Amino acid sequence: MICGFSFLLHLQTRGNALLLIIILGVGGTFQSGYHVTGLSSPSPFIKSFINSSWYERHREIPTPETVTMIWSLIVSLHAIGGLCGAVSVKFIAGIMGGKKGVICSSCVSIAAAVIMLMSKTANSFEMIIVARILFGYASGLGGSLHMMYLGEISPKKIRGQITLTSANFVSLGKLSGQFFGLSEILGREDMWNVVLSLPAVFSVVQVVVFPFLPESPRHLFIEKGDEVACKKALQSLWGPGEYKQEMDEMLVEQAAIEAAPPKSPLQLLRDRTVWWQLLTMVLIYWFNQLSGMSAISVFSFDIFMESGIPEHAIRYVTLSLGVCEIITSMSSSLVIDRLGRRPLFWGGYGAMSLIWILVTITMNLKNSYSWVSYISAFMIVLIIVSFCGGPAGTGTLSSEIFIQSDRLSAFAIVGLLRWLAIAVIGFMFPFLIKALGSYSFVLFACMCLLASLYTFFILPETKGKTVLEISQEFNAITVCRKSSPEEQTVETTL
């Protein structure tokens, strides 16, 4: 992690950028990552709690199908909350501003933690569901604002590294969820509600510290028209300087926005000039969820049970996955502005497709050879390395390919469909793995192959380009990523 943030440690000697990135992270995508894996280790205890709670009310033991249904709701309704949070980002940020919106999301997370802590005493699995929805809302709103904020404060030359920290904090959150879920820490039957409430501690830190950090310079310049405040914010973030180049770029973007006022989500959907951007973000987010990574994070316990790993060893295997994920994610942040986005995306998806096929084969051989189950576990590690080495950086694209006036509506649309995908996989996977067993992973392989082909043939490179330059490249796309000079047009609305 120290290596991953080395480029920021240098800048921290001049400004407050590193502090802002950390405080944004622990209250933003860190929360999403934690709630994905934090549910895995205590899952047997929560299912037992559902059983006992149901029995005390109805004086009968619930059927396995009933427990599976309630458990699936606990998992998937977190994503429905995230969907609502992502959709509300335009309204919240438009009314309150990005800074107050971030604080608002942390307050929701704190309220959810209180409900989760009380659920055990109240003997209510419904309170778990309510808390999960609120945690999801905070993750959806806070995660969207986190990625948007990073894109707005980042200098062009290190924009990829800074925006990729959102993925780093997802990985850190996942690792934290796995660590605190260990039986030696908090992963005991009497502490499962504490494990699920722990991220609220970081939300409290964000509520206390964030008001003292600078507002987004782009928001101040483009939306507020306050050039002086923008310059002060840049100096506060990155140290003394004139920042003429950065402010000139904002001025060009502001001129483009004046010709095209901010759009509502519905207006943005009708705007043909951003269809490729919207399609790309929606597809990549869906590919991410259907690539199998969400299933690994949420249902790692079930997957490793299916692969034949002894139950007592599963928690430690999942912890090693978290360590691999964060190391790979940090390493990726060091090379993204050198190699570019496209090679990391199509290469990562292509590798995942091949590995999922190998996982399917090894899982079908687990009964023939006892050591094959550990080969399957190693393959899962390779999938995580492949994902975190590229596709995990989807957040870098979200903040790069939309101009300021379109960004809030775009985040609302993309966020809605992204969280819908999380809800679908969260609800369906328990039934899928019961019905198909290891063959369910073939579906993930197919999705990864499609993602690799799409990012190879369609996705433009965004490295080192302004938002307007990237928008023009998307406008020039034809079916195989080829465009002729006669077909290329620069829309005045950009």
Question: Domains plus CATH for the chain?
Answer: 13-213+260-475 (1.20.1250.20)
**133/242: higher pLDDT:** 133
User: How sure is the predictor about 194, in pLDDT bands with cuts at 50, 70 and 90?
Assistant: very high
Asked whether the beta carbons of 389 and 345 are under 8 A apart, the reply is no
Percent of the chain with pLDDT over 90: 15
Structure pTM? 0.74
What gap in Å lies between CA 284 and CA 447, rounded to an integer? 10
Structure-block tokens of residue 390: 């590229």
Pick the most confident of 156-170, 201-215, 474-488. 201-215
Is the confidence at residue 5, as pLDDT, over 60?
no
**457/377: higher pLDDT:** 457
What gap in Å lies between CA 95 and CA 99, rounded to an integer? 11
Query: What is the per-residue pLDDT for 9?
Result: 45
Query: What is the per-residue pLDDT for 434?
Result: 74
User: How sure is the predictor about 113, in pLDDT bands with cuts at 50, 70 and 90?
Assistant: very high
Is the confidence at residue 54, as pLDDT, over 90?
no
Give the pLDDT mean for 332-351: 81
Give the pLDDT mean for 349-367: 87
What gap in Å lies between CA 327 and CA 60, rounded to an integer? 48
Query: What is the per-residue pLDDT for 2?
Result: 41
Give the pLDDT mean for 371-400: 78
Asked whether the beta carbons of 223 and 404 are under 8 A apart, the reply is yes
Positive/negative CA dihedral, 103, 126, 63, 48: positive
* Residue of 410, 405, 384 whose CA lies nearest to 281: 410
Query: What is the per-residue pLDDT for 111?
Result: 96
Q: What is the DSSP letter of 481?
A: S
What gap in Å lies between CA 465 and CA 473, rounded to an integer? 10
What gap in Å lies between CA 113 and CA 81, rounded to an integer? 14
**144/257: higher pLDDT:** 144
Q: Which amino acid is at 33?
A: G
Lowest mean pLDDT: which of 79-93, 104-118, 341-355, 475-489? 475-489
Query: What is the per-residue pLDDT for 1?
Result: 44
Q: Each residue of 319-346: b (16+ CB within 10 Å) or e? A: bebbebbbbbbbebbebbbebebbebbb
User: How sure is the predictor about 268, in pLDDT bands with cuts at 50, 70 and 90?
Assistant: confident
**171/478: higher pLDDT:** 171
Count how many Cα atoms sit within 13 Å of the Cα of residue 106 in the half-sphere of its side chain.
Answer: 25
- Is residue 401 helix, strand or coil? coil
Query: What is the per-residue pLDDT for 331?
Result: 74
Give the pLDDT mean for 463-492: 60
Give the pLDDT mean for 269-288: 85
Structure-block tokens of residue 273: 């000039």
What gap in Å lies between CA 167 and CA 373, rounded to an integer? 29
